[in-house]
Structure 1
């Protein structure tokens, strides 16, 4: 990808003409499209409860996210040149980015919902297991002793 290229000193290449400007914008658009496709698939799988299928492309998503962030840095570093050499493609990229942001937001909402549901299930299971393992008897403080105070729990062992 053009946005990933660097010169010999490690500094990002600067856009110096219309061809470079369009190339950078096209690379960022392609990265966004690939990342949005992965996010859409992930969102749909998680939405219907297929968590492992939804999260199957985590490594590719991570790679694309890194490339996207590097592309944004290159975009910011070359903002003046891009506005000068490729104003129409830059406006298209801005519009595309707004749609991409909505896809990210939808993905985050679905993931947060799945996380909350999972946490509630785990808490419910934990509560049921701890309740099943707790000894059965009278609860302290609820029953009054015949001698005027609160009684201690009464447990009866059936083992000898």
Structure 2
């Protein structure tokens, strides 16, 4: 597998209209799914797609905050979301990454964590880095993510 930094310049251009539509469809599907689950208290699009700076080789990065992390310990929880093949799992502090690869080549990284990942008093330095690098709430029924984004502003 080629690392992103090694990819040719052509891969660093803006995503095609088809890729942009694919990303919007995935974000919409995951958002509707999350809205129907009472344990999900926040869904946050982060990274290049959140800051409208995605490239052809960009992945989709999502933070999912839940009151029932055990529900997402099994690799089968995302089967109905059609996110593609699970290609990697990894822990990032309080978040558990689940990276999926679709047949189109698009990768979707879902980072699952507890609601206190979004605490604002104080904001965790790692959380602040993620949020200031680009964050857009997709599902925020109690305003938890909006408060976090406000707290991360200079």
Question: Same-fold call, TM > 0.5?
Answer: no
- The interval holding the TM-score normalised by the smaller chain is under 0.3
Q: Which has the higher strand share?
A: 2
How high is the TM-score relative to the length of structure 2? 0.26
Q: Flag the structure with more relative contact order, 1 or 2, with Cα contacts below 8 A and sequence separation at least 6.
A: 2
How high is the TM-score relative to the length of structure 1? 0.25
Tell me which structure has the larger Cα radius of gyration: 1
Q: Which has the higher helix share?
A: 1
